[in-house]
Structure 1
Amino acid sequence: MASALTDKLTRLVKQMRGQARITEANVQDMLREVRMALLEADVALPVVRDFIARVKEKAQGQEVLGSLKPGQALVGIVNRELVATMGAGVADINLAAQPPAVILMAGLQGAGKTTTTAKLAKHLVEKRKKKVLTVSGDVYRPAAIEQLKTVTQQAGAEWFPSTPEQKPLDIARAALDYAKKHYMDVLLVDTAGRLAIDEVLMQEIRDLHAALNPVETLFVVDAMQGQDAINTARAFKEALPLTGIVLTKLDGDARGGAALSVRQITGAPIKFAGVSERLDGLEVFDAERHAGRILGMGDIVALVEQVTAGVDQEAAQKFAAKLKRGDGFDLTDFLAQIQQMKQLGGLSSLMDKLPSQLSAKAGAMDMDRAEKDMRRKEGIIQSMTPLERRKPELIKATRKKRIAHGAGVQVQEVNRLLKEFEQMQGLMKQMKGGGLMKMMKKMGGGMPRMP
């Protein structure tokens, strides 16, 4: 989460770690900075007051004053209180009900309810191995019904049809009846939203809740809304017994305040976070890991999970075997490596999870430019014939012009790609048959010996 809040708190963390002694004066200075950072990040004032009071009480206690490294102790307190504010640990989704377990999705229009419904369906199908049915009760926006149909199919779940002429209650009851008859494990009900809170919307969703008796009522809120998110959260809390929160667009959050406020305002745990527009861009929310991201400590666990989930293990093993045999590294392999990076969500998605010191260094590179460059390379290779990819030495002037025209780039870019490919090819040759070990020895490294 590359937000202003993260930047400010990261700087504060560095200052605090360097403190040899913690006094009442520098605790006050630090708390003032934290308070300003939170307020600027659109964290609700009552939440800020409560957070600062808790940190102050613990910072002036023996835990810090008696510590050999008081600055680090102070960072630990801020980290723990951030976690406490967002809800310690992981709040699992509740499916302990006589099937189908009904999950009601609530929130304003534009918060991402429909996409989140499909993302949750994909999560339940793939991670929990559930048979999932989705239905749209949004009769005011015909496009919402079609949108849910499309994204549900992409998610690998089943969609129950509805039309704008029907009443939301009739749609929900028919979907529930179908889900029971077809032995569905979960029924996800996407509800109508409005651009602002109104009594008609609230009454409709209260009626749906009473009729369906859902095991989960999830409040979907746009993390970029700032203070508006808090007002919306308060209104939905008064209307419905919310059981959980889904924060959407967390990847685009410029301020970071919603994650710290919504949990405390509603009293409901944050269960999921939308971290990209892709259907697999829904993470189970972990307060400890999110606090680490806010403080610039990164989220290496999420990075490893993202890489593991995104890598095609079978393709990776075939590629490794090919290199070991000494079969040439060609442009088809080069293209596969580029596409693998795209599978992982792109460079910026990976960089977001690195600790701030590392991501700051990487940030010197323009991530957008790097990703555009990757897409251009992909276009250039895809403009080549299969023979040219296997035998790049055939690509002379005339072919280069044709490839450049097909990819919509200059010939110089084709030359640059071929040069990069030659360098990569040379590296792959060195790796063949234990070459990697020799390379590391030349670099003065070598693999560490096992004890």
Structure 2
Amino acid sequence: MAFEGLADRLQGTIKKITGKGKVTEADVKEMTREVRLALLEADVNFKVVKDLIKRIKERAVGQEVMDSLTPGQQVIKVVKEELTELMGGEQSKIEVNNKPPTVIMMVGLQGAGKTTTTGKLANHLRKQHNRKPLLVAADVYRPAAIDQLQTLGKQLDLPVFSKGTEANPVDIANEAIKQAKEDHQDYVIIDTAGRLHVDENLMGELQQIKSDVNPSEILLVVDSMTGQDAVNVAESFDEQLDISGVVLTKLDGDTRGGAALSIRAVTGKPIKFAGMGEKLDQLEAFHPDRMASRILGMGDVFSLIEKAEAEVDEEKAKEMQNKMKSMSFTFEDFLEQMDQVKNMGPIDELMNMMPGSGKMKGMKNMQVDDKQLSHVEAIIQSMTKKERVEPSVINASRKKRIAQGSGTSVAQVNRLLKQFEEMKKMMKQMTNQKKGKKGGMNFPFM
């Protein structure tokens, strides 16, 4: 998950204060000290941290908290709102040209993932917004960049405009726009050259392309793993090109997260997209409020719903919901659900979007990653129809047969049966919670 270390530290800190019926200035002081240390450790810009902590302190010891019926939760609400504001407040969408095509210039240093992000953005615009993008190979200094973009174009079944390595990048961009108008393309996404560091030649060329094609967007692609360096790169590019927004890559990695929390505050430019994995559909529109929720362990229900709506059959989902409520959910249903869930993205990423998932009883033992899914499928497929519907009939000899048939061990079969029972119990807990019965799970801000 993005910001894993930071999230763990912050969640541990806020847990101490959440349930408090009375919050003193000393409590707030201790919490803000911990938050400050966690943010600095995550490589967030020192001045940004100082300003953020000052605002949290002022609000957390103010009337809105002290007069509240739930002061502990009110403090966390303040932290969430301030984190959200720090990352830009609201989602920043792409500026669309009144007269197509909308031209987007992708800029950044070599190695930040610019070419891959160009392909991902085109795929996002087509899938989420039903648009027709044209990819433009304008990095003439690195033949591999042109080949890479053409390969991505083939994988995504999207057109790529290229004039090879001998043409001038400005001419390539101009001709691509002309071609896009003729072919009625909605977007022209230009993959420009990068360097290992910011230099005059690179900036001169990018400024030339900018003045010639007058793009609606200049998106800077930065590697969030580089922490504070990413912020420095963003400042340099912004000074020279007046970028319109940032795309953070590798936000799913073991990143300290400082870049995402500092870039907006330092440059004043919004983060528009975040790369959440290597696959071509793993680029998300950046929602500051949702990211703040994830960091604070409140989950990201909206993103989870959006993923589900894009991939899951509505009628089947309703049918499955009824089965869960009536506790008639079987391994047969589980197999069907797995197919739909796999289309939504990596399991651990989906789990992280669930509010309080790290604290749910039984959830810690249910760590099913994508590699394990194939074992799970094999085990279920090795069961008879009766065994899938009534797992209680699976005795020792049946377990042995299932393990042999699926190429797994009896221990793995036992583990799956236990996890399945735990999952059914958890579903019962969740439906009890909805009915308002005691014993259900209590998610903050839900």
Which category of TM-score, normalised to the shorter sequence, fits these structures?
A: 0.7 to 0.9
**Do the aligned residues in 2 keep the contact of 1:125 with 1:157 (CA within 8 Å)?**
no
Q: Deviations along 1:48-89, whole A, 9 cap, x unmatched? A: 111112112222322223333322222121111111111111
How far apart, CA to CA, are the structure 2 residues paired with 1:445 and 1:22? 31
Alignment correspondent of 2:170: 169
TM-score, with structure 1 as normaliser: 0.79
Deviations 1:181-201 (A, max 9, x none): 222211000112222222222
Q: Which moved more, 1:263-272 or 1:33-42?
A: 263-272
Question: Are residues 23 and 239 of structure 1, via their aligned partners in 2, closer, same or farther at CA, if it must alter by over 3 Å?
Answer: same
Matched, 1:375 2:374: yes
Helix, strand or coil for the counterpart of 1:278?
A: coil
* Alpha carbons 1:352, 1:359 under 8 Å: kept: no
Which whole-Å CA distance do the structure 2 matches of 1:448 and 1:294 have between them? 29
SS at match of 2:265: helix
Q: 5 Å matches for 1:376-415?
A: 376-378=375-377, 409=407
Q: 1:256 and 1:414, CA in 2 relative to 1: closer, same or farther beyond 3 A?
A: closer
- Which letter maps to 2:234? A
Mapped to 1, the partners of 2:375 and 2:271 lie a distance apart of 39
Q: Name 1:344's counterpart in structure 2.
A: 344
Residue pair 1:122, 1:156 contacting (<8 A) in 2 also:
no
Distance 2:266 2:201 in 1: 23
1:106-150 Cα distance to aligned partner (Å, 9 max, x none) = 112222212211121122122222221011212222222122122
User: By how many angstroms is 1:26 displaced?
Assistant: 2.7
Distance across 2 between alignment mates of 1:74 and 1:319 = 38
What pairs up with 1:66-77 in 2 under 5 angstroms? 66-77=67-78
Judging changes above 3 Å, is the alpha-carbon distance between structure 1 residues 344 and 60 closer, same or farther for their aligned structure 2 residues?
A: same
Distance 2:35 2:239 in 1: 30
Report deviation, 1:361.
4.9
- Residues 330 and 249 (structure 1 numbering): CA distance in 2 closer, same or farther, change over 3 Å? closer
Counterpart contact for 1:104–1:217, Cα < 8 Å = yes
Separation (CA, whole Å) in 2 of partners of 1:188 and 1:361: 46
Structure 1 residue 307 and structure 2 residue 298: aligned? no
Cα displacement (A) at 1:378: 4.3
In structure 2, C-alpha distance between the alignment counterparts of 1:258 and 1:447, rounded to whole Å: 38
In the TM superposition, what whole-angstrom CA distance separates every residue of 1:350-379 from its partner, at most 9, and x where no partner exists? 111012454665662373x64322123446
Spell out, residue by residue over 1:385-417, the C-alpha distance to the aligned partner (whole angstroms, 9 max, x if none): xxx999999xxx9xx99x969x8x457599879
Paired letter, 1:48: V
Structure-2 residue corresponding to 1:33: 34
> Using a 3 Å threshold, how does the CA distance of structure 1 residues 133 and 404 change in structure 2: closer, same or farther?
farther
Secondary structure of 2:221's partner? strand
Identify unmatched segments of 5+ residues in structure 1: 321-328, 428-439
Distance 1:413 1:18 in 2: 40
Question: Residues 188-207 of structure 1: matches in 2 within 5 Å?
Answer: 188-207=189-208
- SS of equivalent residue, structure 1 residue 127: helix
Change (3 A) 1:111 1:77: same
Secondary structure of 2:218 counterpart: strand
Mapped contact 1:330–1:390 kept (Cα < 8 A): no
Check conservation: 2:17, 2:27, Cα contact below 8 A: no
User: What does residue 324 of structure 2 align with?
Assistant: none
| Structure 1 match to 2:444 | none
How many residues get paired? 412
Instruction: Specify the code of the residue in structure 1 equivalent to 2:285.
Output: V
Q: Which amino acid aligns with 1:345?
A: G
- Match in the other structure for 2:225: 224
Residues 1:210 and 1:338: Cα distance change in structure 2 (over 3 Å): same
1:323 aligns with: none
* Structure 1 residue 252: Cα displacement: 1.6
Encode CA deviations 1:253-287: one digit per residue, 9 max, x unaligned.
43121111011122111111222222221222111
User: Partner residue of 1:282?
Assistant: 283
Secondary structure of 2:129's aligned partner: coil
What corresponds to 1:102 in structure 2? Answer: 103
Question: 2:364 matched to 1:364?
Answer: yes
- Indicate the SS of the match to 2:341: helix
Supply the AA of the counterpart residue of 1:346: P
Deviations 1:397-447 (A, max 9, x none): 9xx99x969x8x457599879x96xx99xx9xxxxxxxxxxxx8xxx9799
* Contact 2:100-2:181 within 8 A present in 1 as well: yes
Task: Quickly say closer, same or farther: Cα 1:366–1:142, change in 2 above 3 A.
Answer: farther
SS state at 1:105 partner: strand
Distance 2:379 2:69 in 1: 58
Deviations 1:156-179 (A, max 9, x none): 432112312222222212212211
Distance 1:365 1:228, change over 3 A: farther
CA shift in 2, pair 1:380/1:28, >3 Å: closer
The separation in 2 between residues aligned to 1:147 and 1:312, in whole angstroms, is 34
State the shift of 1:312 in Å. Answer: 4.0
User: Does the Cα contact within 8 Å between 2:10 and 2:38 map onto a contact in 1?
Assistant: yes
